[in-house]
Amino acid sequence: MSYPRLVVFDLDGTLVDTAPDLVDALNFVLAQDGLPPVPAQSARKMIGAGARALIERGLERDGRIVDADKLARMTEDFIAYYAENIAVGSKPFDGLVGALDILESRGCRFAVCTNKLEWLSKRLLDRLGLSSRFAAICGADTFGISKPDPAILRQTVARAGGDLAATVMVGDAGPDIGVARRAGVPVIGVDYGYTDVPVRDLSPDIVISHLNDLPAAVELIGNKRTVR
């Protein structure tokens, strides 16, 4: 079996349930502008493309458009507030640590490829005691590119000391499926994350509903590669 040696994860909605703190930060900046809060369930579907996009989506919900300078100030306020409150309600999805332990025992290494800023990603994972599990933690600012541009995944794999031919991506939304497809990497979709398009409709190689199922899914990817 050609077992994948590097498992690359999206962060928000895949590794960690960050919605409580992201929604809190969004509603903080909206309140500063006199706008009503976005309900948590609605806001979850807006997450995944970075802070600026989340704010834009929150504004659009109330039919608001702001100029570039105003949006930049709101984004700065969002990041400052979020950085101070990054792990108040956020927590790893159930089964994560056990899945990492099993995969590590089988020779796998791990990396994070996210559209979140790198320093925020590292701060979050530090607060949750997870940073040491990952050979590389790369964000939209690490290389100046974002998912689904395949260059961010290729460079994340390189930074982690991996090989694209022995890599699998795990994510919850379109940018994750797209970056994997464009980089020629198999992808496992999780259906519990943040997306307005069901992950099954994005046609990942495998869909799982719980991280307890991740080791078996990674093994299945390896078996498929062996058959080819």
pLDDT for position 141: 94
User: Sign of the CA dihedral 136, 19, 208, 181?
Assistant: negative
Catalytic residue among 10, 12, 17, 172: 10
CB neighbours (10 Å) of residue 121? Answer: 28
Give the neighbor-by-neighbor strand order of the sheet with 206-208: 136-138, 109-113, 6-9, 167-171, 187-190, 206-208
* pTM of the entire predicted model: 0.92
pLDDT for position 3: 65
List of domains in the chain: 6-17+90-227 (3.40.50.1000), 19-84 (1.10.150.240)
pLDDT for position 42: 83
Nearest to 176 by CA among 54, 49, 22, 42: 49
The CA–CA distances, whole Å, from 138 to 37, 82, 214 equal 31, 19, 21
Nearest to 100 by CA among 112, 90, 110: 110
Whole-number Å distance between alpha carbons of 194 and 185:
21
pLDDT for position 2: 57
What are 102-131's pLDDT values in tens digits?
999 999 999 999 999 999 999 999 999 999
Q: Over the chain, what is the mean pLDDT?
A: 92
Could you say which residues of the chain have pLDDT below 70?
1-3, 225-228
What are 193-207's pLDDT values in tens digits?
998 899 999 999 999
pLDDT for position 26: 94
Please confirm, yes or no, whether 12 is among the known catalytic residues: no
